[in-house]
Structure formats: C-alpha cells, structure tokens
Structure 1
Amino acid sequence: MSDWGMGLLDETALWLLGGVVVILVIASTTAWLLGRKLGVTSTITNLKQRINAWWLMVALIGAVLAAGETVTVLLFLVLSLLALREFITISPTGRGDHKVLVWLVFIIPAVHYWFLWEHWYGMFSVFIPVYAFLFLPARNALAGQTKGFLQRSATIQWALMVCVYAISHAPALLQLPVAMELGREAAEGSSPGSGGATGAHLLLFLLIVVQGSDVLQYIWGKTLGKHPIAPSVSPNKTWEGFIGGVLSATALGAALWWLTPFSPLVAAAFALVSCVMGFAGGLVMSAIKRDRGIKDFGSTIPGHGGIMDRLDSLCFAAPVFFHLVRFFYT
C-alpha cells in the first residue's frame, strides 16, 4: 500500500505550474525594478521576501506532488504540526494541560493522517470531531486542574480542528477521483496514489484559487481600499479589496475549469464559495491574533509570518470545497 515514486504531476499540471512560474518571474522582475527605482525601503524588502517565499512554496508543492501522494500527505502532516505548535504557543494553556498536549501533538494528528493515507474516509471524517473531541477534555479532567478548564479545553479542541482536521482536507482531495470513477464504497480503502493526476488537479485548483484570492484581495485593497470591513479586527481588510479580490479569483477559477471535472459555471461557483470561506478564515485568525496581542502566528515564512498566517484561508476553504466536490461529484 505504498505510492513512493508514483508522481501525481501530468503534462497538464506541469503546464499549469509553468504558468505560475512565469507569473513569479514577472513579479520578481517588477520587484527588482521597483527596488532600483525607489531604493531599499521596508515595503520593497517585504515585497521581495513575499515573492521569494512564494518561489519556495511553489517549488515545494510541485516537488511533493511529483513524489506522490504519500509524500504530499506527509507534507501536510508536518504543516499541521507546525501550525498546531504556533497555535498552542499563543494559547492560554497551563501545566495541567501538558499530558493532554502530548496526545494533541504527538498522537492524534499522526493517527488522523494515517486514516487519510489509508483512504479510510469513515474514520478520517469522524476520528477528530467525535472520538478526539470526547477524549481530550476527559483526559484533561483527570489532571485535576479546574481553573480555566472550559477555556483551556475549548482552545485545545479549536486548535486540533483548525490546524489538523480542517487543513487535512486539502490532501484528501487527492482521493476524490477514485470515488468519482468507482463510487464512494469503492474509494473506501483504495490504494494511496490511486487518485492519480486528477486528484492533483483538484488540489492545485483549490490552492491557486484560494491563495490567488488572498493576493488579489491584498492588491485591490492597497489600490482602491477605503472602507474597512471590520476595523477593530483587521483594518487592512476592506470591502473594495474583498469584492475585487473574490470576483477576480472567481474569474480565475472559471478560467481553470479545464483542470477539473467541473463546467466553467460550476468551477466559478466553487471558486466563489472557496474564496468567501478563505476570507472568513483570514478574518477569524486575525481576531484570534488581536485577542492574543500579536501581529503574526510566527516567523517561519519571511514576509508572510507563520504557517497559520499562510494557511488561515485554506483551513476554512478546504473542508467546504472537499465536501462540495464529494457531494456533487461522487
């Protein structure tokens, strides 16, 4: 049951990634020209850091998809663990939570991703929201620390749901083509890698649309933004940026319909829902950072912040996109 060496990139995906590389070349050239014209400023430095980080992220996702589903699942497991670490670091946990945190970090995510790798959809879908949800507070209660128990337990549950369960729906897209072709029952327990390049297309579609929406909202907001949506939460998120970015990314999704089993209209609809959910994820994470008095979740990605600062939109969009595709196309 291994797919080591079975790449998920076909000619279509390679052409798509080539197009992304062309965009990055244009962005890098533009940043270099602006640096020559305006000199070394904090804005130019941040812009170059962001673009360089995108180079690394695109190279990474291309490499893991070329390596196969197993490596892709392992990448998202590592991302979930890094995001979980960032979330727990800023959360109000105490000494009495240490034993339950061992389960939270070292055991439950690995078991959950193993269910995902095994294509065991039944356990993948219920293990965290049912079994882990009930187990973690019970284990925490055994520690005997009752002060702030509800807040601490809720924080642990939220961290697990967002950083592990929600994010894991992105690599789960690799499995959906099996269900599309053979039916849901046949997909349960199918071999890792059996989704093939079609699964990679779905994942790339989601990543490009959601991350593209983030970038486009930033551009529209910087150029035309005047009316903040929630100024006390994130003053840089404006209605102009939101509407312009979401509509632009929706058009991008419609233009990428050929990458998916969707018609152009359905691709646009799925892209629209994903972009709105991505915006909601970013807004929620901004509220959490405001509550904790921090600017970023971390500094892992230069110019972007921490892992959760880059995945905040994906963790809201991925589960919804996954279940929309599964409901309507399997």
Structure 2
Amino acid sequence: MIGLIDSTVIWLFVGIGGILVLATAIAAILGIANRGKDNSTLKNLNQRIAAWWIMAVGLAATLLIGETAVIVLFLVLSFLALREFLTIAPTHRSDHKTLIWLVYIIPVINYWFLWEHWYGAFAVLIPVYAFLFLPIRNALAGDTSNFLQRAALIQWALMVCVYAISHIPAIMQLPVMMDMGREAAEGAPLGSGGAQGALLMLFLVVVVQLSDVFQYVWGKTLGKHPVAPSVSPNKTWEGLIGGVLTATAIGAALWWITPFTWWQAAMLAFVSCLMGFFGGLVMSSIKRDRGVKDFGATIAGHGGIMDRLDSLSFSAPVFFHLVRFFFTT
C-alpha cells in the first residue's frame, strides 16, 4: 500500500476515470456534431468535465501521499471557501481582528486537532469555544451596529466552511474508531485509518456527487415540479427523487468498499444524498439573499469552492456521526 491507496482504491479510481473518459468522449462527439454553433450548454459541459478531471486527479494525488496531504488539501479548501463566503457577506472594519481569528487561526487549530486524531478537541473547538470566543472578540471592538447579523454571519461561515467541511477528511479516521473503540482511537498514529478510511471517504464523496449529477439529469429530463421555486427553480421533485434513488442504488452497489452490508450502505447513502440536496438548497437561499449566482469562480463550470462542496458540507457531518454512533463501540 502506498499512502492511503491499495488495490481497491485503485480500482475505484479506475472506475471514476472510465466514467470521465466516457463523458469526455460524449462531449467531443457533441462538439463535432455542433461545430460552428454557439452552444453555451456544451461549453459549460466541457468546463465541468475538465474540472472533474482536475478534482479526481488532485484527490488521488493527495491520497497517494497520505493522510497529512488530504488534511492539508481540505484546510486549503476551507480557507478558499471562507474567502468566498466573506466576499458576499456584509462585514465592518471593526470585524477585522475577529476575521483574523476566523480565517487564519481557528481553521488551522481545527485541522491540527484532526491531524493529531484528537477527536474530543476537534468535536468541540468550533461549536463550543469558537462559538463563544468570536462574539466576545467582536463585542470588545465596541461596534454594536448590526452586531447580531455580523456575529451570526461569522458563526455560519466558520461552521459551514470549516467545521462541516473538515468532517470529510475526518471520515478517514472512522475505521480506527470502529476497530479500537471511540476512546482508544484518540491519538491513534497518523494514517492508521489506512486505505479503509480512504474508501469510506470516497464512498461518501462519490455517492453525494453522483446524486448531484443525477438530480441535474433527472431534473432536466423529467422535472416539472420545483421543490422551492422561489429559492432554486431548477431543483425539482423529479430531480430530487430520481437523483437520490439512483445514487442510493449506486451506494448499495458499492457496499463492498465499506465495512457495511449492502442495505446499511444504501441507508447511509440515502441519508447522505438527502442531506446533500438540502445543503445545496440552503446555499442557494444564501446566494439568492445576497443576489449572486455563484459563491465564486474558482472552478470553471462549477462556480466557487462552496458551490461544489455545498452538498458535502451538510452530508459529511451527518455521515460521520451516524457511522460513529452506530458502528463504533
């Protein structure tokens, strides 16, 4: 085994690569058929496929290096997501010192606890200590104008962009808890989750991201009834049901890469995909409120980091704690 990659991880990435090769070929055929025409949909499709290639190769490379590289990758993604979130959010000059803690200090401590496998500290740092500290820091600045709105915005940014996203790499440590027990897993050696931890993380990422894709496909082909038309008219009941059920079936089919039975894998995939949908819906509400289409333009064809991780930011913490509660001793 190299890094967090064994033969099973390799075969999973071979499957992902095969899907991307097929998508690339289909896009090329469509490009030839529509040569000379101004087709913005096809251009967007090519951008999305290219972005998927970059994301798949990047994730594979960090898994090849090891757990530290994966944690650093998601620390960087959290930092970029925070910058996007704060760009569209109203803050005051008096928030400057609080924002330094928000962007540069607390995320590093959070991911350091994760790197150290110090689960107890990781679990409470942001929802308890940072939650109490940040408004205190804001109050000391003496600016009471829109204080509640500014404090709530800062808390939301930290919870979604850092705490929630950091649960994605935290999944790699679940096999340690399942083997050693919750308490004994504290301070386990780096990389002790091994390839099984990498597969658990990939299981969540694959089923949730495929759910997003199939929700789009089913919505475009059959969608007629919007779930929340004033928030996101393109999110339909047909797309939601079709996408979640399709991804759930894929999750059940991937049970062999997890410690679960096929029906347990299906249930976890179903809940994760459902939470992923609601994550996208909540983020769409935020963008609608701020009057923007995307959080940023970091990923061509996808928007910003949070536009790509919105579903995972809601599904990862739920998946992590469901597995920790029901499958660890």
Q: TM-score band, normalised by the shorter chain?
A: over 0.9
Q: 2:250 is matched with which residue? A: 252
Q: Which amino acid aligns with 2:304?
A: G
2:5 aligns with one of 4, 9, 23 = 9
TM superposition shift of 1:183: 1.1
Write out aligned runs for 1:216-235 (5 A): 216-235=214-233
Q: Tell me the distance in 2 between the aligned counterparts of 1:81 and 1:60.
A: 17
Q: How far is 1:192 from its partner?
A: 1.2
Q: Secondary structure of 2:227's partner?
A: strand
Q: How many pairs are equivalent? A: 326
Does the alignment pair 1:22 with 2:28? no
**Which residue identity lines up with residue 191 of structure 1 in the other structure?**
P
> Which whole-Å deviations, capped at 9, do the CAs of 1:16-64 have from their partners, x for residues lacking one?
1000100000000001111111234101100000000000000011010
Q: Which amino acid aligns with 1:148?
A: N
Cα distance in 2 between the residues matched to 1:296 and 1:184: 39
Using the TM superposition, give the Cα deviation of residue 250 of structure 1 relative to its aligned residue in structure 2, in angstroms: 0.2
One of 163, 174, 191 as aligned partner of 1:193:
191
Query: Residue deviations 1:250-301, cap 9 Å, x none?
Result: 0000000001000000000000000000000000000000000000000000
Match of 1:281 in 2: 279
Equivalent residue letter for 1:255: A
User: Which residue, 202, 210, 216 being the options, matches 1:204?
Assistant: 202
CA contact (8 A) 1:8 1:65 kept: yes
Residue aligning to 2:311: 313
Shift of 1:6: 5.6
Equivalent residue for 1:214? 212
Q: Tell me the percent identity.
A: 70
Match in the other structure for 1:48: 46
**Aligned match for 1:108, one of 106, 109, 113:** 106
For structure 2, list consecutive stretches of 5 or more residues without a partner in the other structure. none
Instruction: Note the residue ranges of structure 1 that are not aligned, 5 or more in a row.
Output: none
Q: Secondary structure at the match of 1:186?
A: coil
Letter in 2 for 1:19: G
| Larger deviation, residues 179-188 vs 16-25 | 179-188
Q: CA RMSD in A?
A: 0.9
Helix, strand or coil for the counterpart of 1:278?
Answer: helix
Which residue number in structure 2 is paired with residue 35 of structure 1? 31
Amino acid at match of 2:40: S
For the residues of structure 1 that align with 2:308 and 2:141, how far apart are their CA atoms? 34
Question: For each residue in 1:165-216, what CA deviation from the matched residue of structure 2 results, as whole angstroms up to 9, or x when unmatched?
Answer: 0000010011111111111121001111011000001000000000010001
Provide the secondary structure at the position in 1 that maps to 2:234. strand
Corresponding letter in the other structure for 2:191: G
Select which of 258, 262, 265 maps to 2:263. 265
Query: When the two structures are superposed, what TM-score results if normalisation uses the length of structure 2?
Result: 0.98
Q: CA deviation at 1:91?
A: 0.5
Amino acid corresponding to residue 175 of structure 1 in structure 2 = Q
Partner of 1:149: 147
Residue 139 (str. 1) matches residue 134 (str. 2): no
Single out whichever of 306-315 and 176-185 deviates more from structure 2. Answer: 176-185
Quote the Cα distance in structure 2 between the aligned partners of 1:241 and 1:176.
31
Q: Provide, for residues 286-325 of structure 1, a one-character-per-residue CA deviation record: whole Å limited to 9, x for no partner.
A: 0000000000000000000000000000000000000011
Alignment-mate amino acid for residue 38 of structure 1: N
CA distance in 2, matches of 1:328, 1:293: 41
- 66, 69, 74: which one aligns with 1:68: 66
Q: Alignment partner for residue 168 of structure 1, among 155, 166, 176?
A: 166
Task: Give the distance between the partners of 2:280 and 2:177, measured in 1 at CA.
Answer: 31
